[in-house]
Amino acid sequence: MEQPDLGELMSGAIALRQLGKRYGRKWAVRGLDLVVEPGQIYGLLGPNGAGKSTTIRMLVGLIRPTAGEVFVWGRKIGVNGVAEDGGVGALVEGPAFYEYFSGYRNLAMLAGLSKKVSGTELEWALHQVRLWGRHRDKVGSYSHGMRQRLAIAQALVPRPRLLVLDEPAQGLDPQGLTEVRELLKELVAQGTTVLLSSHLLHEVEQICTHVGIIAKGELIASGTVAELLASDEGYEVTVASAQAATAALAQMALVREFSQDAEDTFTVWLHEDEPQQLNAGLVDAGVGVKGLRKKRTELEDVYLQLAADEQPLLAAAGVGERGEAP
Ligand SMILES: Nc1ncnc2c1ncn2[C@@H]1O[C@H](COP(=O)(O)OP(=O)(O)OP(=O)(O)O)[C@@H](O)[C@H]1O
Ligand SMILES: [Mg+2]
């Protein structure tokens, strides 16, 4: 169907309309419609080669779309449009740091590339990512997590209303991941909108309010994390005695519904997500519980399948010509 012409304005922090990018004969991204509203932490989730970085590069004006349009804060942008706008901070390719320079000096140089920045702005960004105090140390002495935070600091310097981060959690250990998550939550509490990409469902689930799943260049699902992960699959319970379990499950107020799937296996749906109470209830009723696990949501199945299908695409990637500076 023909889309109505909405002119130069579109609502939302980000609106992508029928966005596409073709390399040679292959569409890296195709027909992408996506809206991020102010205040969201939107996770673009997809396996390697899905088109996340390509989408983000178009979004921040690093590469030119083959088709479709990008709107940021209601304004249509072209190549370099976002950088001039000031409303967006981005971490796309992890910036290369000078190992022998301090974090502060690296940040000053990176930030100085786009415009003149003051010491106050740099200090604020370093405080945000909790590197103030270590900012005089050489980057060579930084851990991976600290480098990642410095990279995020660089995106924060213009105090953007919209922060766009390509794989911000890449390579972080659980501690680093927690730090990045806390940082993003704080920024959102201060009014920042965030779009990030990740290939890990678990990460997106923990950090984001909204998620879009991209596979082979196309958006195949989107919604709130709660919507997409809403598990109505129930719990799988393996018991020693099916008869005793049937009687006990029928008595329990917590149990909404149950079905027997096999000799010793039941699926149990609960009114409240309290599996430990289910376990305790069964044990109290004298039922031996051999196993209890949450059944996977459809989304997880879909996503795991996608990730498993994904083959290394080096041959198709046009290795060595990824950069496409305007
Ligand atoms: N400059 C380029 N030239 C040719 N093909 C490219 C180029 N950049 C990306 N592609 C192709 O576009 C597809 C999407 O790549 P993209 O980097 O956007 O994926 P991604 O989702 O970011 O993957 P990853 O999780 O590995 O970072 C891939 O098939 C890739 O090989
Ligand atoms: Mg990528």
Structure confidence by residue, pLDDT tens digits, 273-317: 899 999 999 999 999 999 999 887 766 776 776 666 654 433 333
Give per-residue pLDDT as tens, 226-241.
777 665 678 999 999 9
3-state SS, residue 21? strand
Q: 190 pLDDT exceeds 60?
A: yes
Ligand 2 centroid distance, CA of 29 (Å): 12
Intra-chain end-to-end CA distance of the chain, in Å: 32
Ligand 2 centroid distance, CA of 48 (Å): 7
The one-letter amino acid at 318: G
Q: Which helix (H) or strand (E) element contains residue 212?
A: strand 210-215
pLDDT of residue 115: 66
Ligand 1 centroid distance, CA of 50 (Å): 7
The one-letter amino acid at 289: V
Q: 264 pLDDT exceeds 70?
A: yes
Residue 209 near residue 224, CB atoms below 8 Å: yes
Residues whose CB is less than 8 angstroms from the CB of residue 99 and which lie 6 or more positions away in sequence, other chains included:
138, 139, 140
Side by side, the strands of the sheet bearing 289-294 are 255-262, 265-270, 235-239, 289-294
Comparing 18-27, 77-86, 158-167, the range with the smallest average pLDDT is 77-86
Ligand 2 centroid distance, CA of 198 (Å): 8
Residue-averaged pLDDT of the chain: 84
pLDDT of residue 220: 86
Residue 212 near residue 36, CB atoms below 8 Å: no
How far apart are alpha carbons 160 and 233 in whole angstroms?
40
Q: Given ligand 1 and candidates 54, 56, 197, 218, which is best to mutate, with the most ligand atoms within 8 Å of its CB? A: 54
Ligand 1 centroid distance, CA of 10 (Å): 27
Which residues approach ligand 1 with their CB closer than 6 A?
23, 28, 46, 48-54, 199, 313, 316-318, 321-322, 324
Residues whose CB is less than 8 angstroms from the CB of residue 62 and which lie 6 or more positions away in sequence, other chains included:
79, 92, 324, 325, 326
pLDDT of residue 174: 83
* Residue 213 bridge partners (DSSP): 45, 221
Instruction: Kindly write down the DSSP assignment for every residue of 247-267, as one continuous string.
Output: HHHHH-TTEEEEEEEETTEEE
How far apart are alpha carbons 158 and 187 in whole angstroms?
13
Count, in order, helices (H) and strands (E) of the chain: 11, 14
Ligand nearest to the CA of 24: 1
- Token pair, residue 191, equals 């009014």
What average pLDDT does this structure show over 62-74?
Answer: 91
pLDDT of residue 298: 65
Q: Given ligand 1 and candidates 21, 22, 23, which is best to mutate, with the most ligand atoms within 8 Å of its CB? A: 23
Give per-residue pLDDT as tens, 130-186.
899 999 999 999 988 889 889 999 999 888 999 999 999 887 888 888 888 888 999
